[in-house]
Amino acid sequence: MAPKWRELADRLADRIKSGEYAPGQQLPHIRDLVEAGEGSKSTVHQAYKALEAEGLVTSSRGHGTVVRSQTPIKRLGISRYDKAKWRDGDEVAFIADRVASGRAYRRGEQTQNVSRVEAPPAVAAAHGLPVGSEVYARARLVKEGDQPTHTLTSYYRPEHVEGTRLVDPTPGPAGRGGGYRVLYDAGYEIDHMKEELFARIPTAEEVKQLQLPVGEPVVELHRTTCTADGTVVEYAIGVHAASRFAWEYDFKVPDSARKEEVRP
């Protein structure tokens, strides 16, 4: 037999999913359920924590417990890197994503912090640098309205970006066309990329920075961007609130028996 708190949580979850408790609506107060004989305060509280961990509600002291509204997810396809967007046009990739999703762009939705740091091991490995080398780190926190959605930190080799707008510590997108436009103007046209993704539990710091609800996972994205000759010009690490994004990749089925399919 399931514990009492689990049964209570399941009953409440059913009523949330059926729409009986609508998004934004308050759940019964803990003390009311204690009064109604659902158990002691600790027991009811445990049920509420479970619902919070399952992403169904958020609680706050003084306010109460309200049903979370599910924000539609943003689909990220490789077309967000389209050269036409940043080379010919005026958009940076992350804005293009938003336009594609039918959402308006607002100012001040990206903070930026550029610094010269010692390369973390993964960064040094991606750039093919000896450990301890210095790189430029451009850290952004991207918001949708007031709500942070992801962080993105790009690492560049000093010789690629020194003297460009990228190392200018002004907040905001890196000017017209974004970071890839700056690299293009500096003679580094990006050609191919690799993205690696995995999901995990956030650190305490990420919970704070991204204002994550209890129990929400994050997806970590490692992006390696190369020029046509294979030089790595950017290695970026992003941490995304899992409930807000989905990733899409289209590709041909590889055939190693056919030589012409091999990528240089």
Partner DNA sequence: TAGTGGTCTAGACCACTTC
Partner DNA sequence: AAGTGGTCTAGACCACTAA
200 binds, among DNA, its own copies, none (CB under 5 to 8 A by kind): its own copies
Which residues from 188-207 bind its own copies, rule CB under 8 A? 190-201
* Identity of the residue, 31 or 75, whose beta carbon is nearer to its own copies in the bound complex: 75
* Identity of the residue, 171 or 254, whose beta carbon is nearer to its own copies in the bound complex: 254
Question: What is the smallest separation between the CB atom of 115 and its own copies, expressed in angstroms?
Answer: 26
HEC string of 166-204 equals HHCCCCCCCCCCHHHHHHHHCCCCEEEEEEEEEEECCCH
CB contact at 8 A, 192 and 263: yes
- Phi and psi of 194, rounded to 5°? -130, 135
State the amino acid at position 241 in one-letter form: A
Of 91, 69, 55, 219, nearest to 149 by C-alpha is 219
Question: Is 107 strand, coil or helix?
Answer: coil
* Identity of the residue, 76 or 114, whose beta carbon is nearer to its own copies in the bound complex: 76
| 250 touching its own copies, by CB under 8 A | yes
User: Following DSSP, what letter does each residue of 133-160 receive, concatenated?
Assistant: -EEEEEEEEEEETTEEEEEEEEEE-HHH
155 binds, among DNA, its own copies, none (CB under 5 to 8 A by kind): none
- Contact with DNA (CB under 7 A): which of 43, 133, 211, 227? 43
Residues that bind its own copies in the complex, under the rule CB under 8 A: 42, 53-55, 73, 75, 78-79, 81-84, 88, 190-201, 215-219, 225, 242-243, 245-257, 263
Residues that bind DNA in the complex, under the rule CB under 7 A: 1, 3-6, 27, 29-32, 39-43, 45-46, 48-49, 52, 59-65
